[in-house]
Amino acid sequence: MERFQKFILLPFILAASLTGLGFCYSILNGPTNATVLAGSEARFNCTVENGWAILIWLLNTNPVLTVINSQGPIETSERFTSHSYNNSQSFTSELIIHNTQLNDSGKIECSIQKLDGSSFAFLSVQVNGSLLIKNSTLIVKENTTVEIVCEALGWAPAPDIMWMTNDSLIDKSRYVTQQSQGSNDLHNALSVLTMTPTNTEILTCLADIEALPNPQNASIAVIVGNSTLGK
Ligand SMILES: *[C@@H]1O[C@H](CO)[C@@H](O)[C@H](O)[C@H]1NC(C)=O
Ligand SMILES: *[C@@H]1O[C@H](CO)[C@@H](O)[C@H](O)[C@H]1NC(C)=O
Ligand SMILES: *[C@@H]1O[C@H](CO)[C@@H](O)[C@H](O)[C@H]1NC(C)=O
Ligand SMILES: *[C@@H]1O[C@H](CO)[C@@H](O)[C@H](O)[C@H]1NC(C)=O
Ligand SMILES: *[C@@H]1O[C@H](CO)[C@@H](O)[C@H](O)[C@H]1NC(C)=O
Ligand SMILES: *[C@@H]1O[C@H](CO)[C@@H](O)[C@H](O)[C@H]1NC(C)=O
Ligand SMILES: *[C@@H]1O[C@H](CO)[C@@H](O)[C@H](O)[C@H]1NC(C)=O
Ligand SMILES: *[C@@H]1O[C@H](CO)[C@@H](O)[C@H](O)[C@H]1NC(C)=O
Ligand SMILES: *[C@@H]1O[C@H](CO)[C@@H](O)[C@H](O)[C@H]1NC(C)=O
Ligand SMILES: *[C@@H]1O[C@H](CO)[C@@H](O)[C@H](O)[C@H]1NC(C)=O
């Protein structure tokens, strides 16, 4: 029993005397990369060993929130708030960035104001733009090749475009997608599908970015009409 207690006590005494020196604490877990949709919130954690004095959050090198051990968090903007999780071994500060904007993208850093006492990650703020197929329901003659156009406007970054017919993906060789720069750092994409429908099909254009839980989509019906139709 006595031996067991020594085992427990030794590291404790060591830790206590070292933190007593006032510099032997470090960041145990820094923030991790996050990808969010503009307008939503982004959260980052920074966990420091006990003995810490100050913790500073920086976004693209600008200080946005400071936590002082003896006082708690000092918040100066409604956009940057925090939660504190304190326990006997460590302290975790969770930074919450509200109403994220595209230009919040970049480096998020947790500093404990000492040499090597810094850890960082990246925030990517993305924009869910619009998506539409420029053609409405099409009635085509048998054996005719048509071009169907899907347009994505105002995205960040430019979305990946895919096409589906009914429930299956269409091979990439059957469409061409071009990306272009829009206004305000947003991106557009225009995808042209070339097809010769043989049957009635529901065509779906899908646009995806990492921050979306599911791709956005737009659909039209292509109806193969009788040869007497359309001419
Ligand atoms: C975090 O994001 C940066 C920049 O996009 C990237 O270089 C890095 O590999 C990412 N780290 C992890 C762990 O995914
Ligand atoms: C931060 O840590 C707290 C406490 O462990 C946890 O509840 C929260 O989900 C974490 N937040 C992030 C962004 O990982
Ligand atoms: C965390 O807890 C310790 C001791 O329990 C206390 O001294 C310290 O002020 C607390 N820090 C914060 C930021 O709440
Ligand atoms: C970021 O963008 C917002 C609006 O989109 C703007 O109000 C703000 O001034 C910009 N911030 C910086 C640092 O450019
Ligand atoms: C993305 O935008 C579309 C079209 O405005 C909307 O229907 C969809 O709900 C949005 N997705 C998210 C996750 O906000
Ligand atoms: C679909 O719309 C695009 C753009 O408006 C047009 O160029 C194309 O000819 C249309 N396709 C058909 C089959 O009508
Ligand atoms: C469509 O093509 C097939 C095979 O080439 C042919 O058998 C059929 O007669 C064609 N139909 C029309 C309406 O041209
Ligand atoms: C696609 O779906 C439509 C409507 O549900 C159906 O009439 C058609 O036969 C289907 N086409 C194929 C190729 O499966
Ligand atoms: C298209 O989006 C709607 C609404 O988000 C979803 O219910 C549907 O499953 C999507 N369709 C495809 C083919 O992904
Ligand atoms: C087209 O219409 C003719 C009569 O108008 C009919 O005999 C033929 O079966 C129809 N073909 C298809 C593919 O619907």
CATH of the domain at 186: 2.60.40.10
Q: Which two three-digit tokens encode residue 178?
A: 């071009």
Task: Give the global pTM.
Answer: 0.84
Q: Are residues 84 and 134 in the same domain?
A: no
Residue 227: what pLDDT? 54
Q: What is the DSSP string of 42-67?
A: EEEEEEEETT--EEEEEETTEEEEEE
Residue 171: what pLDDT? 97
The reply to whether 64 falls in a domain is yes
Quote the ligand 3 centre to 63 CA distance (angstroms).
22
Quote the ligand 10 centre to 200 CA distance (angstroms).
14
Quote the ligand 2 centre to 94 CA distance (angstroms).
7
Question: Which residue minimizes the CA distance to atom 10 of ligand 1?
Answer: 33
Alpha-carbon distance of 54 to 161, in angstroms, equals 46
Q: Taking 80 as the threshold, does the pLDDT of residue 59 lie above it? A: yes
Q: Which of 126, 147, 177 is the last residue of a domain?
A: 126
Nearest to 28 by CA among 71, 80, 82, 87: 87
Which one of 200, 219, 222, 223 would you pick to mutate in the ligand 8 pocket, going by the greatest count of ligand atoms within 8 A of its CB? 200
| pLDDT bracket for residue 197 (50, 70, 90) | very high
Q: Which of 101, 126, 151 is the last residue of a domain?
A: 126
Q: Are residues 61 and 113 in the same domain?
A: yes
Nearest to 200 by CA among 172, 176, 219, 181: 219
Quote the domain boundaries for residue 186. Answer: 130-224
Distance of CA 184 to the CA centre of its chain: 19
Q: Taking 90 as the threshold, does the pLDDT of residue 19 lie above it? A: no
Q: Which residues line ligand 7 (CB under 6 A)?
A: 142-143, 227
On the CB side of 223, CA atoms within 13 Å amount to 8
Q: Are residues 151 and 205 in the same domain?
A: yes
Q: Taking 80 as the threshold, does the pLDDT of residue 104 lie above it? A: yes
Residue 115: what pLDDT? 87
Of 11-20, 60-69, 138-147, where does mean pLDDT reach its minimum?
11-20
Q: Taking 80 as the threshold, does the pLDDT of residue 1 lie above it? A: no
Does residue 215 have a cis peptide bond before it, meaning omega lies within 30 degrees of 0?
no
Alpha-carbon distance of 227 to 231, in angstroms, equals 8
Number of domains in the chain: 2
The answer, yes or no, to whether any atom of ligand 2 lies below 6 A from the CB of 43, is yes
Q: Are residues 107 and 147 in the same domain?
A: no
The reply to whether 95 falls in a domain is yes
Alpha-carbon distance of 83 to 163, in angstroms, equals 43
Q: Are residues 75 and 142 in the same domain?
A: no
Residue 24: what pLDDT? 78
Q: Taking 60 as the threshold, does the pLDDT of residue 20 lie above it? A: no
The answer, yes or no, to whether any atom of ligand 2 lies below 6 A from the CB of 45, is yes
Q: Are residues 95 and 27 in the same domain?
A: yes
